[in-house]
Structure 1
């Protein structure tokens, strides 16, 4: 039988790996490293570094493959994502068949944690034949963002909401919460909000060598974040960031 291990590796710092993650990587017959194009080569480089640092099993093979690109021009967002997931699942299946066959243990190193704004679990369930799926949890970007800012995420006895930049931009500030975590923001959705009374804690390339963090009242910190974000994207060719917004009395 085939076993697919989705291993959370944190946000880029090899020190964030758990002992369970290290054991799962070493138990794999095959580790798959996705390539997301030259603009995001840093992500593949970090996965290679992790394998170099922790692999002690001389029989584990590492295979790299190119991920299909999602059609950003698809007008139906959900359909576009579903089609992309089908394409990724087909690529996974073919790569596994080419390099391992129908039996063994395969590992994919998942940025952050497989349960939070990551599609690996949904994609894994589209594989044919369906493997046994194992999940090793990892440190999320939310945890890392709170840590670098020394920030408690929730106020005492109060809820918070985790959402995307697209949803924040389209729906505005959600009702009944004073704390919002924003992920997968392709732009700066906080610009769509009334900045009065809002504070922001922002971070990019969290856990990586190029980590950037900023915080402050949104009216003052927002323009600084926008400029820093644009500069970082131009230098690296990509950016991965997240932020927390709190409504202060």
Structure 2
């Protein structure tokens, strides 16, 4: 049994693997530390043989989680790092350490999930967009503020009142609150459409579009191209990397 962790900027996702793809995914907000409800869940677990993590949430949360895994099971936290190549996958960044490990693992999983070229949109605290050809060549990507960060920065820099509101299915709004809510989603959706169409022109065939991250489901109404939501994409990539390491050792 292996415990897989995806430590994001805001949320921590975790799942167990018994030698196959990740099982049920649990999500908690970490706040830079170990959430109490996470520890309560872990108290009920049988001891895993290994704890493997992807971390973009910072050193402090990784250290805190490492202390917890050692206290519970005597296991150190094994942090995966971005690699320039993994199988047929090769990233565009000349310095792999500057490419977020969560983005890399999402590409690892996407390359396994679909045979065609793919645009991966990870809608979390930041919204990232990565383009991958069918042969595993990563073309590069773009980064925007995520949905909540986009809204918060707009409200912080203006006198627009803070009105809690969710967008409708309409592409525009008739009041300020819904206009702000819809605008953040439509901005991410519009960039996804633009990149999808550029990738289609590059490959001369329709690519896949995979959405992941905490706001993936909220983006669906703003998408103009067929999209598939894979909430555990990073954890799937983590499993693929660990499985690949085991195969290499074997």
Q: Please give the range of the TM-score, normalised by the shorter of the 2 chains.
A: 0.3 to 0.5
| TM-score, normalised with respect to structure 2 | 0.32
Between 1 and 2, higher relative CO (CA 8 Å, sep ≥ 6) is seen in 1
| TM-score, normalised with respect to structure 1 | 0.32
